[in-house]
Amino acid sequence: EKAHAAGASAFVFDEVETGIDDRHHVAAGYDADVLLRWGDPIFANAPEFDPANQSAAAQAKQFGYNNDYVGYIPLEGSSEHGLLVVNHEYTNPHLMFAGLVTIGEKDGKKMLQQAPLSKEQVDIEIAAHGGAVVEIRKVDGKWQVVRDGKLNRRITAGTEMQLSGPVAGHDRVKTNADPSGLKVLGTVNNCAGGVTPWGTYIMAEENIHGYFSGELPADHPEAANYKRMGIPEGAYEWAAHYDRYDLAKEPNEPNRFGWIVEVDVDDPTSTPKKRTALGRFKHEGAESIVAKDGRVVFYLGDDERFDYVYKFVTAGAFNPDDRAANMDLLDEGTLYTARFDEDGSVEWLPLTFGEGPLTAENSFSSQADVLIETRRAADLLGATKMDRPEDIQPNGVNGKVYVMLTNNTRRTDEQVDAANPRAKNAFGHIIEIIEDEADFTATSGKWEVLLKCGDPSVAEIGASFSTSTTENGWFGMPDNCAVDTAGRLWVSTDGNNAKDTGRTDGLWAVDTEGEARATSKLFFRVPVGAEMCGPLFTPDDETAFVAVQHPGDGGEEWEGFGRPSYYEDLSTRWPDFQPDMPVRPAVVVITKQGGGKIAV
Ligand code: FEO
Ligand code: CA
Ligand code: CA
Ligand code: CA
């Protein structure tokens, strides 16, 4: 352990320089090795990736697309052998498939648009969504995939799941294909997630609105509910081939999405459960911590401009000696939403049917109604409208909770409040919550802004990084985050990838304690077009996993023209750099050269 002078960062490493190019960069003295790429076989009988002849059957046995959340579930307590659990949030058909059509030219480059997808391509998309459970092992200091691991599993947008908790079997979740209201096929848009104290894998269903198309029948009772969720957006072409994504044909199907999903990784044949007690909204993630009395607290963000922060407190206590006894803890408990007051206090308001405004007067007739329309219930309770709540991380070392608020350029001067202090908030901020009595189940606490993000050299932005933060160290758009075993905060970003700023997204180490508070240092950055997801540290702090999502995505630069495909745009062919290989999202594993804890 090195001693630090007062005000020195708790993180010991030489910062990466910002920049933008076709590859990833990590701090000197560290290795950043690609571990799992889109299309990598994860079963003994899975075919090798062949992008020109990809099929849904092959994809279902291969690592999926757009890795987001990364979790690590140790096997027998090991930091060198465990299950990596990874969400596959969404698909980018323009980067996955050939068959783009040229619609014009701009600056000498072809402008391309994705042609309508075939049913086989839609089926590949469905199989590329969901999540993966992959056994991995560290051998001679390097991590390897155990391709024949007996717990390896792919979960897709077609995997059968069970609706569980208060909404299970309710009339509002019954469909023609499932008159029981208990069985749902698949999970979509799993952004961040979590691993529970009892070793299950949590997937959070976020932007579900994109998968639905069509129009509800006239005067349908779900119209206001769906409008509040932005349904339908029709970003995907799935409804052309599957009736359940068409509101005209299956008007209740969207009520079966927008939940927290729990997967028992110990049994690869188990049915994942949609845990409805944790509410229905655009779930970012679900990181948890065991409170003093043994109950378990899950912190939940709803990633929408002017939406809310939530937490769920289980009714039962965690039993560390009996895994089976914990397996339905997520079906019973209290869901709360946060009101951040101007005096620096936070109140957690229960979303409980029959209490306050959550009654028949506001057309709630059961807890199931409150949960299906969680946002409307939270509106009525007067929760604080936030600047897009993303990942929320309880820190068991310092007892605090970190809330990533990614941005909200639509907030006006009149809408500014203490917890969302900037109008036109382009760069986001991070709030720190301190629950009363350091009890995570508390219904009140204190909060303060840890960091207002953005370039501190531009006064109008109003960023609040410490003066020790270098020009490489500042960032905007905090999204995912992690706390290492030492209790230090790491933040990954989504949106710093504009070519005119010369920066990409990355992983930053952020001091929270002492005089170094609000100092940030760049540890890793992604190739052009990507956002940074993960991150996750093994319990020994010797490995960090990060997820490079949508590398090579042309983004806004091509808005209105469709986006470039890998066949035409050579901005990057990360991570293979082969002419016959598309750019591929991948999980990268970071270790210190020669071994040892990271950033110590
Ligand atoms: Fe999928 Fe809220 O980021
Ligand atoms: Ca994402
Ligand atoms: Ca996210
Ligand atoms: Ca995001």
Question: d(Cα 187, Cα 158) in Å, to the nearest integer?
Answer: 7
Q: Is 369 in the pocket of ligand 1 (CB under 6 A)?
A: no
* Polymer length of the chain: 600
User: What's the token pair of residue 369?
Assistant: 């109604």
Ligand 2 centre and the CA of 89: distance in Å? 7
Q: Which residue has the tokens 């590949």?
A: 124
Nearest-CA residue for atom 1 of ligand 1: 191
Is the CB of residue 505 less than 8 Å from the CB of residue 532? yes
Ligand 3 centre and the CA of 285: distance in Å? 8
Ligand 3 centre and the CA of 361: distance in Å? 36
Question: d(Cα 283, Cα 287) in Å, to the nearest integer?
Answer: 11
Pairing mode, strands 273-275 and 160-164: parallel
- Kindly give the number of the ligand 1 atom that is closest to the alpha carbon of 406: 2
Is the CB of residue 337 less than 8 Å from the CB of residue 383? yes
By CB atoms closer than 10 A (0-12, 13-18, 19+), residue 478 is buried
Nearest listed ligand to the Cα of residue 301: 1
The total number of structural domains in the chain stands at 1
- Kindly give the number of the ligand 1 atom that is closest to the alpha carbon of 390: 2
Question: d(Cα 408, Cα 10) in Å, to the nearest integer?
Answer: 30
- Kindly give the number of the ligand 1 atom that is closest to the alpha carbon of 191: 1
Ligand 4 centre and the CA of 297: distance in Å? 23
Q: Is 479 in the pocket of ligand 1 (CB under 6 A)?
A: yes
Ligand 3 centre and the CA of 391: distance in Å? 7
Q: Is 505 in the pocket of ligand 1 (CB under 6 A)?
A: no
Spell out the per-residue pLDDT of the chain, length 600, in tens.
343 444 799 999 999 999 999 999 999 999 999 999 999 999 999 999 999 899 999 999 999 999 999 999 999 999 999 999 999 999 998 889 877 777 677 666 666 667 789 999 999 999 999 999 999 999 999 999 999 999 999 999 999 999 999 999 999 999 999 999 999 999 999 999 999 999 999 999 999 999 999 999 999 999 999 999 999 998 899 999 999 999 999 999 999 999 999 999 999 999 999 999 999 999 999 999 999 999 999 999 999 999 999 999 999 999 999 999 999 999 999 999 999 999 999 999 999 999 999 999 999 999 999 999 999 999 999 999 999 999 999 999 999 999 999 999 999 999 999 999 999 999 999 999 999 999 999 999 999 999 999 999 999 999 999 999 999 999 999 999 999 999 999 999 998 876 667 899 999 999 999 999 999 999 999 998 899 999 999 999 999 999 999 998 864 444 444 444 444 454 788 999 988 888 899 999 999 999 999 999
Ligand 1 centre and the CA of 135: distance in Å? 26
User: What's the token pair of residue 568?
Assistant: 């035409």
- Kindly give the number of the ligand 1 atom that is closest to the alpha carbon of 301: 2
Nearest listed ligand to the Cα of residue 532: 2
Q: Is 304 in the pocket of ligand 1 (CB under 6 A)?
A: no
Q: Give the pLDDT of residue 115.
A: 76
Q: Is 541 in the pocket of ligand 1 (CB under 6 A)?
A: no
Question: Residue 368 — φ and ψ, nearest 5°?
Answer: -60, -45
Question: d(Cα 190, Cα 169) in Å, to the nearest integer?
Answer: 23
Nearest listed ligand to the Cα of residue 205: 1
Question: d(Cα 73, Cα 471) in Å, to the nearest integer?
Answer: 36
Is 571 inside a domain boundary? Answer: yes
- Residues 239-260 have pLDDT tens digits of 999 999 999 999 999 999 999 9
Q: Is 206 in the pocket of ligand 1 (CB under 6 A)?
A: yes
User: What's the token pair of residue 280?
Assistant: 């229905």
Q: CA dist 599 to 82, 467, 488, 508, 592, Å? A: 22, 21, 10, 11, 9
Ligand 2 centre and the CA of 589: distance in Å? 18
- Kindly give the number of the ligand 1 atom that is closest to the alpha carbon of 192: 1
- Kindly give the number of the ligand 1 atom that is closest to the alpha carbon of 494: 3
Q: Is 531 in the pocket of ligand 1 (CB under 6 A)?
A: no
Q: Give the pLDDT of residue 178.
A: 98
- Kindly give the number of the ligand 1 atom that is closest to the alpha carbon of 480: 3
Q: Which helix (H) or strand (E) holds 261?
A: strand 260-263
Is 473 inside a domain boundary? Answer: yes
Is the CB of residue 563 less than 8 Å from the CB of residue 553? yes
- Structural domain for 427, as ranges: 25-174+189-206+258-592
Question: d(Cα 471, Cα 460) in Å, to the nearest integer?
Answer: 17
Question: Residue 175 — φ and ψ, nearest 5°?
Answer: -130, 170
Ligand 3 centre and the CA of 248: distance in Å? 30
Nearest listed ligand to the Cα of residue 303: 1
Is 597 inside a domain boundary? Answer: no
| Dihedral sign (CA 572, 578, 584, 590) | negative
Ligand 4 centre and the CA of 407: distance in Å? 9
User: What's the token pair of residue 471?
Assistant: 């020009």
For 263, the 3-state DSSP assignment is strand
Is 323 inside a domain boundary? Answer: yes
Is 62 inside a domain boundary? Answer: yes
Is 89 inside a domain boundary? Answer: yes
Ligand 2 centre and the CA of 506: distance in Å? 13
User: What's the token pair of residue 157?
Assistant: 């947008």
Q: Is 390 in the pocket of ligand 1 (CB under 6 A)?
A: yes
What's the pTM?
0.96
Q: Give the pLDDT of residue 499.
A: 62
Q: Is 287 in the pocket of ligand 1 (CB under 6 A)?
A: no
Ligand 2 centre and the CA of 4: distance in Å? 35
Ligand 2 centre and the CA of 314: distance in Å? 27
Is 11 inside a domain boundary? Answer: no
Ligand 2 centre and the CA of 287: distance in Å? 16
Q: Is 432 in the pocket of ligand 1 (CB under 6 A)?
A: no
Q: In what order do the strands lie in the sheet with 25-26?
A: 25-26, 520-525, 506-510, 489-493, 478-483
End-to-end CA distance of the chain: 7
- Residues 141-179 have pLDDT tens digits of 999 999 999 999 999 999 999 999 999 999 999 999 999
- Kindly give the number of the ligand 1 atom that is closest to the alpha carbon of 89: 1
Is 44 inside a domain boundary? Answer: yes
Q: Is 284 in the pocket of ligand 1 (CB under 6 A)?
A: yes
What is the interface pTM, i.e. ipTM, of the complex?
Answer: 0.95
Pairing mode, strands 543-549 and 586-592: antiparallel
Q: Is 178 in the pocket of ligand 1 (CB under 6 A)?
A: no
From the list 97, 20, 34, 32, the residue with the least C-alpha distance to 63 is 34
From the list 589, 587, 541, the residue with the least C-alpha distance to 133 is 587
